[in-house]
Structure 1
Amino acid sequence: MVGDFDVLENDVRDLVAALEWQLFMGADETIADSPVDRYAATEERRRQRQTASPVQQQSAPPPSAPQNTAPPRPAMQAAHAPLGTAEAEAQGRSAAADCKSLDDLRAALEAFDGCDLKKTATQLVFGDGNPEADIMVIGEAPGGDEDRQGKPFVGVSGQLLDKMLSHIGLDRERFYITNTVYWRPPGNRKPNDGEFAVCRPFVDKHIELVNPKLLLLVGDKSVRGLAGAATGITRSRGRWYDVTVAGKTIPALATFHPAYLLRTPSAKRQAWQDMLTFQRRMREAGL
């Protein structure tokens, strides 16, 4: 009995380790109505090969037969070759420059294939709130809930952010919110520098079209990317930066991402200080 229990316990550990690995790789959602047994499918293909008729088996070339080593046609290579970061960024700048409205910008992003995140995400996560508001909030990247609903900050961390902002008199009728990238990174990781660079022209155009008077930058990637902060969020939070877009300089306050606050409740006191700092600036600007 003891031996059987040890085997069962080891099996459970292996299963848990496999699930943790899948989560780490970003496979944290099912996309079919029922699971697919890949092992059974492989076994079925092996069985079919073993039971193939002699004629079918003889039709296959012997191992020593020369194989076709001709390279694929250039046209096919070009069709599937991914864009480099510089090329994708240039295409993004060109597409964003032609946008005259938020609807144009959304359509340009829907048609843009230069960001690899689009390949693994469910849908575009564009923006939410009042596009005519004087306050714009910019986070890091969509998460799982955002990916499913197509709106930024709608999950648990978004609910916390809404609650924080409500205490200084802000709701989504009084601010507009988006992210530094428009598709969910696998496994809810932070976007890397290349992904941010590709999306940056669209983010700049997003800010230009909303034309806010104040920015709230939420999370390390938002602060480093848009404000050029040289230090991490724990040192940059609570500080004001200047973000210049289309010749206009906009004051921007750095603060913690609500996902960090959920993991580190002790930082909520500092985040509340940031909210009060932002509220004072709002009052000074007559907002």
Structure 2
Amino acid sequence: MHTPDDARRELESLLDFYLESGLDCFLEEEAVDSFALSEDLARQQQAMRSAAHSRGMPTLGPAQPGGRPLPDTRSTHGAQGGVGPQGTQVSAVNAPVPGGTFADAVVPDKEAVSSAREAAGAAKTLDDLKQRLSQFSGCNLRLTAKNLVFADGTPGARVMLIGEAPGRDEDLQGRPFVGRSGQLLDKMLGAIGLDRSSVYIANIVPWRPPGNRTPTPQETEICKPFILRQIELAKPDVLVFLGAASAKSLLDVQDGIRKLRGRWMNFDVGGRSIPCVATYHPAYLLRSPIEKRLSWRDFLSLQAKLAETANR
């Protein structure tokens, strides 16, 4: 007899198969080429700038029916604006994206990644890094998120845990892992004698993606220099990757979490080689509690590694 539990296990097996195959999110009915969309966006922005320049005006605001620009009431961050036709305000900041997208949105290209590397590399302390990240304009997720979710716990702690991106609760509070998955993480840490005061917690992407969707590869790549610098400045003895996304991104591997978890490796950053291990994300354990037994093994292994490194 086919029971509801059987159906649930079959669905979980199918989802695991998709994850192992690298398919970790569904956004549309059909595949979307994000790179092509970025190129189209750049061409549209350039066309708008050219049109504004030919009329002797600064950057135009978004068009309304009839072709007239709408008033631009946004903060211009110190840029000077002007008055356009019919007395409408014209902003001198970057051209807004047609179709109602935020006017400060940027094209997620190599230039944005290079800008992130430059900003992250210039940070001398974790506080400095947080300040630079809060001022960084190269990732569009900042436009929809309520708060920057930088870190929680104690900087300089022996253990640093890294997830993928904040969720709704994290976005509201500005701290990582404070929702249901965070409560489970606290219990897992407590089981081996740790708590938030003895660890340091962060995410690869510090802003919540809209609707808790998976960050795009471009968003992850743009944010990656900041988490690398955060690891370098935090100087943990041990790294723990929570979930496949953080492990695959930082270790630059394609293996799924089932192959990665529980295996001790080394992560090289800032001239140091840091022991690291991947385990299941607490959110996954809430959906598949039977896997908690494997995460328990991973945390026991973490406890042993801390004892081992303490004696060096």
TM-score range (shorter-chain normalised) is 0.7 to 0.9
Deviation at 1:192, TM superposition (A): 2.0
With normalisation by structure 2, the TM-score equals: 0.67
Residues 1:129 and 2:153 are matched in the alignment: yes
C-alpha distance in structure 2 between counterparts of 1:209 and 1:163, whole Å: 27
Partner of 2:35: none
Kept in 2: contact 1:92–1:198 (CA 8 A) = yes
CA contact (8 A) 1:242 1:249 kept: yes
Contact 2:117 2:225 in 1 (8 A): yes
What root-mean-square deviation, in Å, do the aligned CA atoms of Structure 1 and Structure 2 show? 2.0
Checking the alignment, whether the CA contact within 8 Å between 2:204 and 2:227 is kept in structure 1 is: yes
2:185 paired with 1:161 = yes
Among candidates 111, 124, 135, match of residue 111 of structure 1: 135
Q: Does the residue aligned with 1:80 lie in a helix, a strand or coil?
A: coil
Partners of 2:244 and 2:95 in 1: CA distance: 34
TM-score by length of 1: 0.73
Shift, 1:83, TM fit: 3.1
Measure the CA separation in 1 of the matches of 2:229 and 2:128. Answer: 11
Question: Which position in structure 1 is the counterpart of 2:68?
Answer: none
User: Does 2:72 correspond to 1:72?
Assistant: no
CA-CA distance at 1:114 after TM superposition: 0.7
Gaps of 5+ in 1: 1-23, 26-68
Letter in 2 for 1:100: K
- Partner of residue 115, structure 2: 91
2:288 maps to a residue whose letter is T
Matches within 5 A, 1:1-287: 72-74=51-53, 75-76=58-59, 79-80=94-95, 82-286=106-310
Q: Distance in 1 between matches of 2:49 and 2:170?
A: 45
Name which structure has the greater RCO, CA cutoff 8 Å, separation 6+.
1
Counting matched residue pairs gives 221
| Between 228-237 and 258-267, the greater mean CA deviation after superposition | 228-237
The equivalent residue for 2:89 is none
d(CA) in 1 for partners of 2:95 and 2:229?
Answer: 29
SS in 2 for 1:197: helix
* Alpha-carbon distance between aligned partners in 1 of 2:178 and 2:146, rounded to the nearest angstrom: 15
Cα distance, 1:84 vs. partner?
3.2
The answer to whether the 8 A contact 2:108-2:219 is kept is no
Question: How much does 1:249 deviate?
Answer: 1.3
- Deviates further, 233-242 or 127-136: 233-242
Structure 1: which amino acid aligns with 2:227? V
Task: Show structure 2 runs of 5+ residues with no match.
Answer: 1-25, 28-47, 61-92, 97-105
Cα distance in 2 for partners of 1:92, 1:70 equals 25
**What CA deviation, in whole Å up to 9, does each residue of 1:102-134 have, x standing for no partner?**
111111011111111111111100001000211
**In structure 2, distance between residues paired with 1:232 and 1:70:** 45
Note the alpha carbon deviations across 1:59-91, whole angstroms, 9 max, x for none.
xxxxxxxxxx99631552771362332111100
Q: Tell me the alpha carbon deviations over residues 139-190 of structure 1, each in whole angstroms, 9 at most, x when there is no partner.
A: 1100000000000000010010111011111111111000010000112122
* Counterpart for residue 37 of structure 2: none
> What is the alpha-carbon distance in structure 2 between the residues aligned to residue 248 and residue 70 of structure 1?
46
AA in 2 matched with 1:73? A
Structure ID, larger Rg = 1
Larger fraction in helix: 1
TM-superposed CA distance for 1:228, in Å, is 2.2
